[in-house]
Structure 1
Amino acid sequence: MLEDRSCFVSRDYHRERSWACMSFRLDANGKRPAEDDQEDGRVRKFPKQSDTRGRVDTSLTLGGNSSASEADQAGCDYEADDGMQMTVAQGGGDQHSDGVNSETGAQGGDMVADQAGDQHCDGVNSDTSCLIPGIGRDNSISCLIRCSRSAYGMAASVNRSFRSLIRSGELYKLRRMNGIIEHWVYFSCNMLEWEAFDPNLRRWMRLPTMNSNECFVFSDNESLAVGTELLVFGKEYMAQVIYRYSLLTNSWSTGMQMNEPRCLFGSACQGEIAIVAGGCDLQGKILSSAELYNSETGEWKLLPSLNKARKMCSGVFMDGKFYVIGGIGGPETKLLTSGEEYNLETETWTEIPNMCLPRTGETRENALPTTSEAPPLIAVVNDQFYAADYAEMVVRKYDKDNRVWFTIGRLPERANSMNGWGLAFRACGDKLIVIGGPRASGPGFIEVNSRVSSEGPPEWHLLGRKQSGSFVYNCAVMGC
């Protein structure tokens, strides 16, 4: 979340809403009033802002963009369910640098927050010491990490210090250290187009379009969110490729490679690290290798191999350990019902029998090819292991002590899928979420449903609904 960010707020947006960490509020005319500051025996006035920046009831421009269309070009389009539309470009303006002042990140030079903000720090123009005047840098940061990260676009427009702090990623490290994490859902209904959903504010965000070729579009794709990055794995011509979306710069890049490139693997993240296990290589060979990715360093590290090679498997973290579940493997490429547990401290794998959800129901009786069904739909919430049985449309929970599955309730009624494909079942913080929607001959819908309580049968609450002409191809949850 950086430069080139715009925020369009419609007229029905409440005039009294303000950012809790800032020591000013816009007046009824949408301008920031002059305020007295008696510190050090001096009286200082806040500089007058231009009318186009200060008018909250029509538009609030962050980073210098003054229209929703310009914000769309920046790549992130928020839409609120309550009728309020908010367009926020949460990322670096590097890829939109035409006509942009690289010093301030403003188009046309209309950004004055840098100069104004820097002058409020005891009369010293300092990018390292000036954040919120009067309370000191440490208190400023403590205040900022407790704000919703959806407000960081506004924070980055205050001065260069804020923008540098956000863009460096240090703010997200501090949030993680203090246990302050927000989970957003990232999903794709078109291989090159990704959107995010903020379940707290119930807003949708459109990411920049990936710049790839048709080979990538029609290849097997996997996705993984780790740290402040979204990784999308696929194939271009005769080489496998990883596209990396950075939350800090709001842009896609390529170039990173695993030690052993693969697709159709199981994966999961924990903080700034992620583990991928199994899968298959370009020649279709099923792999038993595994790798650990550190988003802080951008490096891949080979881990000890699995006990069994497997592809089309799923992965989760639970009780501080990584688990890879189910998949296809063995000399006859049969369905696997076992799972494997990886202990990060001892760096060893332990096979666990019957850890995959039992395959019972109509789709299994029809003897479909093993590759026709989706990998296991599993999620871990508060170290409790759940699975979605798309054939029976129920949710099951795993008894870790007795190593058996039992049914706890129904999936959302409109969570349709095709043998599990097109349906996402994920953990989003301390809640289970289901992403999918009804398919029809005309335009369909993508719905985000959240489990209301962790106790008793699942009761589902609709968080968001969006028209879509396709189903969910890939889905990942980013917590930072």
Structure 2
Amino acid sequence: MELSKNKCIKNEDGEVKTTINSSLLSRLLGRDLSINCLIRCSRFDYATLALLNRSFRSLIKSGLLYRLRRKASIIKHWIYYSYNPLEWEAFDPNGCHWMRLPMMPSNECFMCSDKESLAVGTELLVFGRDILSPIIYKYNILTNIWSSSMTMNTHRCLFASASLREIAIIAGGCDPLGNILDSAEVYNSETGRFENLPSMNKARKMCSGFFMDGKFYVIGGVDQDMMQLACGEEFDPLTRTWRVISNMFPRKIDELVNGTSHATMAPPLVAVVNNILYAADYEEQVVKRYDKEQNSWLNIGGLPERVAAINGWGLAFKACGDILIFIGGVHGRMIEVYSCIPDEEGSLQWNLLASRQSGNFVYNCTVMGC
């Protein structure tokens, strides 16, 4: 029997190569076992697998494989970052693969507007402003296409956001007239809809959001008087209530750099690994760990020394599963990606994971786990 259309693919760790035949796989293994094998392949290879036959292509584009991966806890985290207003790249820290996304639709107004990004489910959302109104561009990894057909219930920018599996929560920010908001809403990538949530206790913009222990948090930001807010807020999805947490900001307000306007400082750089909150203090060049019981911060190590920033802008500090990722630019139009795994004591040892000639400023960055 002739074995045609053989393909070589890597496993999730990139170590073992297996030659498979698209016309025989389903008959030899059966559909269920074939799918069970596919969900364990690296999703970097899904584009190649989609070329093997219509059945594979249909499975991948339907999103079924990603839903089954999530159900089986086979989740890998990719970093999506923008190094100029319309260009995005994806980086797989597991196999150190890079992938360039299609160019975003060009619009001068959108290019110059404040932009936020968010990854939820299998979608990358980029929030900005078109000529006439706010706009959301959506990149779907299933189709490799950008689209712009959705809107929030309240148009906003400079907001806090975070995702948990197929849902994301967006809170605060400011509206097109500059009014600072206390409102919040939840987005479900399965339905493609935004739903209003109860409002926060404090209106704030230029804040950061994250999930920890199944709850959503907002910290940092400035109020209507452009004063830095020291308190944070916790949202419980079960009770749909907000709780103010005093003095949750990673630094004391009176320790902020003299002569630096609160409105020009970047939102706090925060990441959650194994339900432990970390913050990257770009002024002190240290990483801090949050003590939930004491509501306090402890210095646990330094940041990579080569990267530079302007009041915290141009950097990214993210969690990829149980790994902390720090991304920054260096001279020579270079982006460097560092990683570390916090130990039980919380000490850090940064390793240079990858570098890329793609500009030296991170405009937006988010992490997709699927």
TM-score scaled by length of structure 2: 0.93
1:47 CA drift (Å): 4.9
1:404 CA drift (Å): 0.4
Match of 1:292 among 186, 190, 200: 186
Q: Deviations over 1:276-297 (max 9, x none)?
A: 0000000000011101000011
- 1:395 lines up with 2:299 in the alignment: no
Q: Which AA in structure 2 matches 1:344?
A: P
Asked if the contact 1:415/1:434 (under 8 Å) is kept, the reply is no
Q: Tell me the residue number matched to 1:422.
A: 314
Q: Distance in 1 between matches of 2:41 and 2:196?
A: 37
Q: What is the aligned-residue RMSD (CA, Å)?
A: 1.8
Match of 1:178 among 28, 52, 72: 72
- 1:350 lines up with 2:243 in the alignment: yes
Asked if the contact 1:388/1:394 (under 8 Å) is kept, the reply is yes
1:153-168 equivalences under 5 Å are 153-168=47-62
Structure 1: state its 5+ residue gaps: 1-44, 61-112, 121-130
Asked if the contact 2:230/2:253 (under 8 Å) is kept, the reply is no
Q: Distance in 2 between matches of 1:200 and 1:192?
A: 26
Q: Which AA in structure 1 matches 2:75?
A: I
Asked if the contact 2:118/2:366 (under 8 Å) is kept, the reply is yes
1:199-278 equivalences under 5 Å are 199-278=93-172
TM-score scaled by length of structure 1: 0.72
Q: Tell me the residue number matched to 1:451.
A: 340
Match of 2:361 among 461, 471, 476: 471
Asked if the contact 1:431/1:454 (under 8 Å) is kept, the reply is no
Q: Which AA in structure 2 matches 1:276?
A: I
Q: Which AA in structure 1 matches 2:356?
A: K
Structure 2: state its 5+ residue gaps: 10-19
Q: Tell me the residue number matched to 1:413.
A: 305
Q: Distance in 1 between matches of 2:304 and 2:360?
A: 19
- Look at both structures and tell me which one has the larger radius of gyration over its CA atoms: 1
Q: Deviations over 1:372-431 (max 9, x none)?
A: 110010110000000011001000000000000010000111121111000100111111
Q: Deviations over 1:21-68 (max 9, x none)?
A: xxxxxxxxxxxxxxxxxxxxxxxx13545xxx87x8xxx9xxxxxxxx
Q: Which AA in structure 2 matches 1:226?
A: V
Q: Which AA in structure 2 matches 1:209?
A: M
SS in 2 for 1:216: helix
Q: Distance in 1 between matches of 2:252 and 2:63?
A: 43
Asked if the contact 2:226/2:263 (under 8 Å) is kept, the reply is no
Q: Distance in 1 between matches of 2:252 and 2:81?
A: 27
Asked if the contact 2:228/2:253 (under 8 Å) is kept, the reply is no
Q: Which AA in structure 2 matches 1:228?
A: T
Q: Which AA in structure 1 matches 2:355?
A: R
1:59-208 equivalences under 5 Å are 117=22, 120=24, 132-208=26-102
Q: Tell me the residue number matched to 1:322.
A: 216
Higher relative contact order (Cα pairs below 8 Å, separated by 6+ residues): 2
Asked if the contact 1:190/1:470 (under 8 Å) is kept, the reply is no
Q: Which AA in structure 2 matches 1:351?
A: V
Match of 2:230 among 337, 343, 355: 337
SS in 1 for 2:152: coil
